[in-house]
A and B are shown apart, each in its own frame.
Chain A
C-alpha cells in the first residue's frame, strides 16, 4: 500500500491502478488459508464457550441436551432442569450476542480505519460510544419505563443517543457537499467529549444512576435471553452488506481521495454510506453489550498483518475474527474469577493488547 502511495500511477492508467489496489493482498492462497483458520477459530471458540461456564456442566450433558433439543428425543439420563435453563436461556444467547457484537465492532473498526486512512480509528471514533453512554445514562437516571416492545428503555435510549450524536457529527463536519476527514474527526472528538462530560455530570448528580450507568458501560444490558440477538441482527445484516459492497471503493480510497474521484468513485457517497453503516452496527451492539474497547482496533489490524490490506477480504475476515475473539474474551470474563464476572472490555484490553504487540514484533511489518 505504501508503495502505491509513494509511486502514484498516472490517472490515465485507470484499470492498472484499480488492479494494483486490488492486488494489495500478498497471495490468494494465503488468504484462503487464513479464512479457513478464522472460521475454525470461531467454531472452536463457540464450542468452548457453550461447554465451559461458571457452573460446570459435563460436556456429555451438553451434547445430550443439545441433541434432545434438536431431535426432540429424550435422552436416557435425566439431567437437572437447571442445566437446560443455563444452556439454552443463559449461555447460548450470550455466546451468540458476543459473536454478533465482536463481528460488528471488528468490521466497523476495519471500515473506519480504511475510510479515515488512520490506523488509530476505531468504531467509537465519531461519537458512538459517547452518544450511547449519554442515552443509556439518561434512561437510567430518569428511570424511563421499560415498556417499549417489552424491552428496557436503556438499550433503546443508548441506540438513539448514538445515532443522534453521530448524526450531529456528520452534519457539523459537512463542508459544502463533502465531508473532509479531518473535520469529521475533529467534530467527532468535540461532540463526543461534550456528550461524555455531560454523561459524567448527570451520573455524579445521581448516586443510584451512577452505579447503574457504570454497570451498563462495563457490562451492557442485563436483560439476557434471545431478544437482544433478534433485535440487533437486522442492523448487522444491513450494515455488513453495505460495508462489504463498498469494500472495493475502500481499496481505491487508500490511494488518494482525489485520485479515487478521478477514477469515477463517488467518494462522498462512499464516506456517508460507510459512516452510516458502521454507526448502525456499532450503535446496535453497544446498546446491548456496553462499551467494549480494543476489538475494533486489534482484530482488523491483526488480520491485516496476517492477510494483507485488501478490504474485500479484510472486512469479512474481521467480522469472523472479531466474533471468535469476543466469544473467547467473554468466556474468560465469566470464568476466570467465577462466580464473579469481569467486564468483557477488561479482558479484551488485557489479553488483546499484548497479543497485538506480539504480532507486531513477530511480523516486523508496518501495520498500516
Chain B
C-alpha cells in the first residue's frame, strides 16, 4: 500500500531504459512538430549559393518533413555591402538560432564549447577543430576530439560550472539541448547558439552554414554543403532507375526482441532508406521512433535487416538469427542482416551522407560496386 515511492522508482527504471534507447537512436534528433524558425543569416554570407543550387532541388523534393521548398542556401540573404563577400567576417555577426534567439558575436568565435556530437563533427568538417575548447561526453568523432576536455553530457543537465570555466566565446547547443539549459547558460553571460532539431537534410545544411558563419568559415561551409548535395544527387541518380525497392528493417533497439524499436515515417533513417531506393519496414508505425511487434515485422518480411542496434546494443547478425521467431524472416534466411554504425544516421551532421552511401550500398549492392 505504501509503495508509491517504489512505484516511481520503477517508472524511472522504465524511463531510463527508454531514454537510453532514445539517446542511442535518432530519437534525439526527432522533430516533435514544433515549428522552428529557420536560421536567418544577416552576417556576411559568402558565395554559397551558386554551386549548390542544382543539386539541392531534388533533395528537398524527397525529404518528408521539409519546411522549405527552395534550395537551403536560398534563405541566406546576399552579402551585405559593408563586408567582403568571400573573406572571413570582420564586423559583428548576428544570427537567429533555432529557438528564435538573436545571437551576436563581435568576431568569429575562437573558443567554442559544443553540447552535441553533431556540432562537434560540423566544426571539424569545416576545418575549425582547433577552436574547440570543450565538448560534450558523446562527442567521439573524429577520434582526436577525445583530447579536448569534456564537459559531461546533458543528462540530467549541462554542467554550467565546467562550461563557464572554459571561457568559451561561443557555446554551440543543439536541438537536443533543453531550452532551459540554454537559458541558464545565457543568463550566466555566455553566448549560446542552438542549432536546429534537424528533421531533414536541409536543416543540416542550414546548421552547417550557420556554424560556418559563427566561426568565420563560410567558404568551407558552402563547399561542404555543396559536396554533400553532390553526393546525395549521385546516390539519387543511381537509385532513380531501380525497379525493385527492397523492404528494409532498421533496428534501433532490440532489448526485447519481440517488440523491437525501429525508425518510423519521417525519421532520418526513413528518408535515407527512401533515397537509397528501399522501402522502410518501419513505415507501418505512426511515430518517427516506434516500437513494433515481431508479428508485424514478420508479416512485413523485410529483405534486409540493418542493425543500428549494433552500435549501442552490441547486436550481431548471429544474435538476430538466434532470436526466437526471427528465422522465418527473409533477410535472416538469406543472410541479409548487417551491423551498422548508428552514429552515421543518428547525428544530424556531415557524416549523415556517409550513412546514406553505406545504406544505399547495402540496399542496392549492384549499383554501388
B366 shortest CB reach to chain A, Å: 35
How many residues of A are in contact with the other chain, CB < 8 A? 67
Determine if B144 is an interface residue (Cβ-Cβ < 8 Å): no
The reply to whether A225 and B156 contact each other, CB–CB distance below 8 Å, is: no
Pick from A118, A196, A207: contact of B7, CB below 8 A: A196
B365 shortest CB reach to chain A, Å: 32
Pick from A91, A196, A215, A339: contact of B178, CB below 8 A: A215
- Complex CA–CA separation, A185 to B2 (angstroms): 8
- Complex CA–CA separation, A130 to B16 (angstroms): 17
Q: Which residues of A contact B5 (CB under 8 A)?
A: 122, 124, 129, 293, 297
Q: Which residues of B contact A210 (CB under 8 A)?
A: 15, 18-19, 22, 27
Quick one: which of A212, A221, A290 has the most chain B CB within 10 A?
A212
Q: Which residues of A contact B187 (CB under 8 A)?
A: 89, 223-225
The reply to whether B137 and A211 contact each other, CB–CB distance below 8 Å, is: no
Pick from A218, A223, A334, A343: contact of B184, CB below 8 A: A223
15 pairs, CB–CB < 8 Å, chain A vs chain B? A85-B164, A85-B189, A90-B161, A152-B183, A185-B2, A200-B11, A200-B15, A207-B288, A208-B27, A208-B32, A218-B12, A219-B155, A221-B180, A225-B187, A339-B149
Determine if A350 is an interface residue (Cβ-Cβ < 8 Å): no
B339 shortest CB reach to chain A, Å: 24
Give 10 new A-B contacts, CB below 8 A, not counting A152-B180, A207-B288, A225-B184: A55-B165, A85-B164, A90-B164, A118-B2, A133-B11, A189-B4, A206-B32, A215-B156, A215-B178, A224-B184
The reply to whether B12 and A53 contact each other, CB–CB distance below 8 Å, is: no
Pick from A122, A208, A338: contact of B197, CB below 8 A: A208
A175 shortest CB reach to chain B, Å: 18
A117-140 CB mask vs B (1 if < 8 Å, else 0) is 010111011010110010000000
- Complex CA–CA separation, A146 to B30 (angstroms): 21
A125 shortest CB reach to chain B, Å: 6
The reply to whether A55 and B162 contact each other, CB–CB distance below 8 Å, is: yes
Q: Which residues of A contact B9 (CB under 8 A)?
A: 293
B202 shortest CB reach to chain A, Å: 19
The reply to whether A186 and B1 contact each other, CB–CB distance below 8 Å, is: yes
Specify the chain B residue showing the minimal Cβ separation from A87: B161
- Complex CA–CA separation, A143 to B197 (angstroms): 14
B146-161 CB mask vs A (1 if < 8 Å, else 0) is 0001111111111111
The reply to whether B150 and A124 contact each other, CB–CB distance below 8 Å, is: no
Please give the residue numbers on chain B whose beta carbons come within 8 Å of chain A beta carbons, in ascending order: 1-5, 7-9, 11-12, 14-16, 18-19, 22-23, 27-28, 30, 32, 34, 137, 149-162, 164-165, 167, 176, 178-181, 183-184, 187-189, 197, 287-289
B53 shortest CB reach to chain A, Å: 32
Please give the residue numbers on chain A whose beta carbons come within 8 Å of chain B beta carbons, in ascending order: 53-55, 80, 82, 85-86, 89-91, 118, 120-122, 124-125, 127, 129-130, 133, 141, 143, 146, 152, 154, 185-186, 188-189, 192-193, 196, 199-200, 203-225, 290-291, 293, 297, 334, 338-341, 343
Ordered nearest first, which 6 A-B pairs have the shortest CB separation? A219-B156, A222-B180, A340-B152, A339-B152, A120-B2, A207-B27
The reply to whether A217 and B12 contact each other, CB–CB distance below 8 Å, is: yes
Q: Which residues of B contact A133 (CB under 8 A)?
A: 8, 11
Knowing A129-B8, A188-B4, A192-B7 are in contact, say whether A54-B161 is a contact too (CB < 8 A).
yes
- Complex CA–CA separation, A211 to B25 (angstroms): 12
Q: Which residues of A contact B15 (CB under 8 A)?
A: 200, 203, 210, 213-214, 217
Quick one: which of B1, B4, B27, B289 has the most chain A CB within 10 A?
B4
- Complex CA–CA separation, A85 to B189 (angstroms): 9
Quick one: which of B15, B32, B153 has the most chain A CB within 10 A?
B15
- Complex CA–CA separation, A154 to B183 (angstroms): 13
Specify the chain B residue showing the minimal Cβ separation from A225: B187
B165 shortest CB reach to chain A, Å: 4
- Complex CA–CA separation, A149 to B9 (angstroms): 32
- Complex CA–CA separation, A185 to B4 (angstroms): 10
The reply to whether B176 and A211 contact each other, CB–CB distance below 8 Å, is: yes
B250 shortest CB reach to chain A, Å: 15
Pick from A82, A91, A207: contact of B287, CB below 8 A: A207
Pick from A54, A207, A297, A340: contact of B137, CB below 8 A: A340
Q: Which residues of B contact A223 (CB under 8 A)?
A: 180, 183-184, 187
B190 shortest CB reach to chain A, Å: 9
